[in-house]
A and B are shown apart, each in its own frame.
Chain A
Amino acid sequence: MQESKINDFVVRFANVNGTGSASANALFTKAVFRMGVPVTPKNIFPSNIQGLPTWYEVRVSEKGYLGRREGVDLMIAVNPQSMKKDYADVHAGGYFVYDSSKPLPPGYDREDITHIPIPLMNLCNAEYTDARQRQLFKNIIYIGALSALLDLEFAVLEGQIADQFKGKEKLIEPNIKALNIGVNYARENFDCPLDIRVERRDLLGDKILFGGNSACGLGAIYAGATVAAWYPITPSTSVVDAFTKYAAKYRVDPETGKNNYAIVQAEDELAAIGMVMGASWNGARSFTATSGPGLSLMNEFLGLGYFAEVPTVLIDVQRTGPSTGMPTRTQQSDILLAAYASHGDTKHPLLFPASPKECFEMTIDAFDLTERLQTPVIVMTDLDLGMNDHVTDPLVWDDSRIYDRGKVLTGQQLDRIAAASALGARATSLIDAEQPTNGDAGGHHADLPGHDGSNETAGQPLEQFKGKFGRYLDIDDDGIPYRTIAGTHATRGAFVTRGSSRDEYGVYTEDGDAYRRNVDRLAKKWETAKELVPQPEFLSEPGAVATGSRDGVIYFGTSTYAAEEALEFLAEEGIHLDAMRVRAFPFGQACRDFVDAHERIFVIEQNRDAQFRSLMMIELGVDASRLISVLNYDGMPITADNIFRQIKGTITK
């Protein structure tokens, strides 16, 4: 259904990992981006350091589709190991660019594609003598050739090389030379440009090209995180790498040279989250990042965080499970594990970012939410979002935004609570003396926070404490108690945080009623969380929920790009569906309304067992027969074609 091949094609680079191809390939993506054309790169890489096949797939889309697309229009095949499959993967009518320094083996004789032989190795060897240079510049030479074949503006590439080697200017000239070798060879030997090609547009406005993990790391900086503890695991490692990089840039005190942050590489994920809980308990904003196996290990601590009500931010960059699974492939398969992590009755708020911009925002939101709710909050990103660059809206920070540190009592407030006790006692004696009390009570109020307390957190009169601070008292009737931080007051506010049952004053108890009051309050807090977490977005205007479309579609996270593209395809065929992008768990009223308004709902997700659908059944009580799964679980990002096929297949059945 392709009319024009201008700004609408997929290029795949088939490389050997560890050969420097990644930075060369990124040049290609950035050049398309700088020509104002929407572009989406995907790294498809092995769990290996050197020598195995790795691919880099770039989709160029004039229409702004940012999901993965099936089929390859142009293959750059520079890896003999995978060449046979790479050859077969080229779409009919497509192009196969290969290193022709040695002849192709027999069998490479497709007539439905165009072969573009470029003697990359020979060109390289003629120019360079050093083995490493030969390897690196071979990559640059094919980028040069591609720029001629696909009509990339040479000046744009030159500009990128200059940016890349700022401070190492000596390297600019040899790189430009390598580009030119490729350009010249292509122009001399082929009709350039090809029918698939890039034409300059102005479709990107002020958008940026950024990865989700970097955005999470930066979000933690903007959110004021000071303690990061982590254990290396693909694909989450680059979250902390980014935090480290930005902390060194923004968080070193200019006067003292000291760090306004601490990063600890822990001995394992158990220790990582333990450190985060210790730091958060002690009043610092703290986070960790991990992936499935790490999340499994963190379960016990997450239960402690839920029950002892300790703020914790966890960024889960999901990968293909179970067990070690495919560590370098993507999936949305930690949903149920994260939602109900740990033994006993536990549940945890989850945030589902769908773009790097949202990774940035939701990481910041996670810190506010975890301190407001005093419970662990998990940001559910994935390898696709985290480890690939995406075209995304520019990041925004509102300088008037004040961190929500939640209900933390100050020393002054603790004094006022105690003072209310003394006043309360006097008031009681006044009542005993049968004196009118109303006017008197007004006088007491002036002494309580909310009237003159600048640090008042919730604006609730603390007199509800009735003179005695209780760590687990629900004086605001929202299930969220007040906490104190160690060192706040010499004689008031101390308590023991524990994973065992305790009463409203933090005292250990095995009393069944006290236990039930406590867990019922936690359930009430869960209700409060429903409307505090990021609310869903609707593809059309909110009113569209009620347009009468019988079927609805629900998706979240990185399924979003492909889902929205598929909805356009479906609309072109006359199938119009209401759509809701869920942005967080627990599901609030808006989610429930959408579900109630549709007879049948397609739930798009990237795992085998339809975990998100299960979550909806459990939490919203939706009848299983109304929820139709649209799944993808081969480790590759879901495509619009796939969603289109599955939904259309069901609807037209």
Chain B
Amino acid sequence: MTYVRSTFRHPALPKNDLGYTVDYYEGSLSTLCAGCGHDSINAAIVQACWEMNIEPHKVAKLSGIGCSSKSPAYFLSNSHGFNSVHGRMPSVATGANLANRDLTYFGVSGDGDTASIGMGQFVHVVRRNLNMVYLVMNNGCYGLTKGQDSATADAGSKSKSGHVNLFEAIDLASLAIELGATFVGQSFSGDKEQLTPLLKAAMKHEGFAFLNVISPCVTFNNNVGSTKSYDYVREHVEVTGTMDFVPLMREITASYEAGDVSDLTMHDGSEIRLHKLAKDWDPFDRFSAINAMQKAKHKGEILTGLLYINQEANELHTTLNTSDVPLNALSQDRLCPGSGMLSKLNASLR
């Protein structure tokens, strides 16, 4: 592979409503392995942000440590990023979000970063319903340290070296629903058609939007016997439905096969149009979503699509009743009570 990216752009490259071509949403050159699922996800993020006319500087990208956590460098180079410490991205994102509620917070993590070292912070950021996108690039192994099993590796799954994982997998999507996540989707890095609208809806969701994206590790976990290889995932994906994301004020142009269609209006007026394929569960119903996922797991399938959404729950700022003006924009005169108040306080302490 080449380490020099061409700067040539076709003059006829289409522009979005902000006047930006898609390359404006790219990041620096990826140093991940050729064929890594993570790069496909990064491409979908770039595509989703471009199509949604997101202003990159109104996005903050955050991550922990690991291959996946390197990703924020590879998309949205005009956004601030914070590559923090292992498993602690949720707390950094929580603080950042509290400081400025007006940005879009995009967290990227991996299965080690979330399901092992970061499990404590993950479960708590879910229950606080922080307004952010939390995307796990899930490959079932530790890539940077050469392929050890992670906590999302399925029991019985075989690694490249022939080692068989003996422990039960943690199912992050089911767990997220259980903990009260208000938007839970699952997808596959090889399915950009599905992933891109999911990303768009997640970014528009007011609350915690969790995306568990199976993203095969081409170097350490793409072998026969692995349940996170490209081949295995392609064979076992059970697409629950297709979905379009219709941004506010945009005409609906796409047409879809007839089926069970339901529209969902998001807080800002955008719409999610769900084309359901699965018959036996309702993504607006937490119990049926959990049920469907358990059943799929039993059958060895990976359900993908928007699995669950709840727009009623309060995100953290609403719960804490914080000012509409971002806290980082409040001026000193609104924050400091001044000497007069202090004199009164001194008097009360005598």
**CB within 8 Å of B: which residues of A?**
33-34, 206-210, 218, 221-224, 226-227, 229, 250-251, 253, 256-264, 266-268, 270-284, 286, 300-301, 304, 394-399, 402-403, 484-491, 494-500, 507-508
- Is B324 touching A256 in the complex (CB atoms < 8 A)? yes
Contact of A222 among B72, B99, B337 (CB under 8 A): B337
Given A267-B120, A267-B121, A283-B99 in contact, is the A395-B92 Cβ separation under 8 Å? no
- Is A275 touching B98 in the complex (CB atoms < 8 A)? yes
Which of chain A's residues have a CB closer than 8 A to the CB of B55?
490
- Is B92 touching A275 in the complex (CB atoms < 8 A)? yes
Which of chain B's residues have a CB closer than 8 A to the CB of A499?
83-85
Total A-B pairs, Cβ < 8 A: 226
Which of chain A's residues have a CB closer than 8 A to the CB of B77?
494
In the assembled complex, the Cα of A278 lies from the Cα of B99 at a distance in Å of 8
Instruction: Flag whether B321 is at the interface (Cβ < 8 A).
Output: yes
Which of chain A's residues have a CB closer than 8 A to the CB of B92?
274-275, 277-278, 281
Which of chain B's residues have a CB closer than 8 A to the CB of A260?
322-323, 327, 330, 334-335
Given A271-B90, A508-B73 in contact, is the A397-B327 Cβ separation under 8 Å? no
- Is A496 touching B90 in the complex (CB atoms < 8 A)? no
- Is A487 touching B336 in the complex (CB atoms < 8 A)? no
Tell me the residues in window 312-350 of chain B with beta carbons closer than 8 Å to chain A beta carbons.
317, 320-324, 327-328, 330, 332, 334-339, 341-342, 345-346, 349-350
In the assembled complex, the Cα of A402 lies from the Cα of B84 at a distance in Å of 31
- Taking the closest CB of chain B, its distance from the CB of A38, in whole angstroms, is 14
Given A395-B345, A491-B78, A496-B81 in contact, is the A226-B95 Cβ separation under 8 Å? no
Known: A271-B121, A275-B91, A279-B327. 19 other contacts (CB 8 A): A206-B346, A226-B330, A226-B335, A250-B337, A258-B324, A259-B321, A262-B98, A279-B95, A279-B96, A279-B98, A280-B99, A281-B82, A282-B99, A304-B84, A397-B338, A397-B342, A485-B80, A490-B57, A497-B81
> Residue of A at shortest CB range from B341?
A250
- Is B323 touching A268 in the complex (CB atoms < 8 A)? no
In the assembled complex, the Cα of A346 lies from the Cα of B91 at a distance in Å of 22
A–B pairs, 7, beta carbons within 8 Å: A34-B350, A227-B99, A264-B98, A264-B320, A274-B92, A284-B98, A486-B100
- Is B124 touching A267 in the complex (CB atoms < 8 A)? yes
> Residue of A at shortest CB range from B335?
A224
Instruction: Flag whether B58 is at the interface (Cβ < 8 A).
Output: yes
- Taking the closest CB of chain A, its distance from the CB of B298, in whole angstroms, is 32
**CB within 8 Å of A: which residues of B?**
28, 55-58, 60-62, 72-73, 77-85, 88, 90-100, 102-103, 120-121, 123-124, 128, 317, 320-324, 327-328, 330, 332, 334-339, 341-342, 345-346, 349-350
- Taking the closest CB of chain A, its distance from the CB of B69, in whole angstroms, is 10
Which of chain A's residues have a CB closer than 8 A to the CB of B342?
222, 395-397
- Taking the closest CB of chain B, its distance from the CB of A232, in whole angstroms, is 15
- Is A227 touching B98 in the complex (CB atoms < 8 A)? yes
Given A486-B57, A487-B103 in contact, is the A208-B323 Cβ separation under 8 Å? no
> Residue of B at shortest CB range from A402?
B332
The 9 A-B pairs with the shortest beta carbon distances in the complex, nearest first, are: A278-B95, A274-B91, A284-B99, A486-B80, A279-B95, A496-B81, A275-B95, A283-B328, A282-B99
Contact of B83 among A267, A282, A497 (CB under 8 A): A497
Q: Which of A34, A259, A263 has the most CB of B within 10 A?
A: A259
Which of chain B's residues have a CB closer than 8 A to the CB of A223?
336
Which of chain A's residues have a CB closer than 8 A to the CB of B94?
229, 264, 271, 274-275, 278
Q: Which of B93, B345, B349 has the most CB of A within 10 A?
A: B349
- Taking the closest CB of chain B, its distance from the CB of A401, in whole angstroms, is 9
- Taking the closest CB of chain B, its distance from the CB of A472, in whole angstroms, is 15
- Is B332 touching A403 in the complex (CB atoms < 8 A)? yes
- Is B95 touching A282 in the complex (CB atoms < 8 A)? yes
- Taking the closest CB of chain A, its distance from the CB of B216, in whole angstroms, is 24
Which of chain B's residues have a CB closer than 8 A to the CB of A206?
346, 350
Which of chain B's residues have a CB closer than 8 A to the CB of A403?
332
> Residue of B at shortest CB range from A497?
B82
- Is A398 touching B339 in the complex (CB atoms < 8 A)? yes
> Residue of A at shortest CB range from B69?
A498
Contact of A494 among B80, B84, B317 (CB under 8 A): B80
Given A224-B336, A301-B88 in contact, is the A498-B95 Cβ separation under 8 Å? no
- Is A494 touching B79 in the complex (CB atoms < 8 A)? yes
> Residue of A at shortest CB range from B89?
A274
- Is B328 touching A226 in the complex (CB atoms < 8 A)? yes
Contact of B350 among A208, A276, A500 (CB under 8 A): A208
Given A278-B99, A284-B98 in contact, is the A226-B327 Cβ separation under 8 Å? yes
> Residue of B at shortest CB range from A398?
B339
- Is B88 touching A274 in the complex (CB atoms < 8 A)? yes
Which of chain B's residues have a CB closer than 8 A to the CB of A253?
323, 334
- Taking the closest CB of chain A, its distance from the CB of B153, in whole angstroms, is 25
In the assembled complex, the Cα of A280 lies from the Cα of B100 at a distance in Å of 10
- Is B95 touching A286 in the complex (CB atoms < 8 A)? yes
Which of chain B's residues have a CB closer than 8 A to the CB of A270?
88, 91, 120-121
Which of chain A's residues have a CB closer than 8 A to the CB of B58?
487
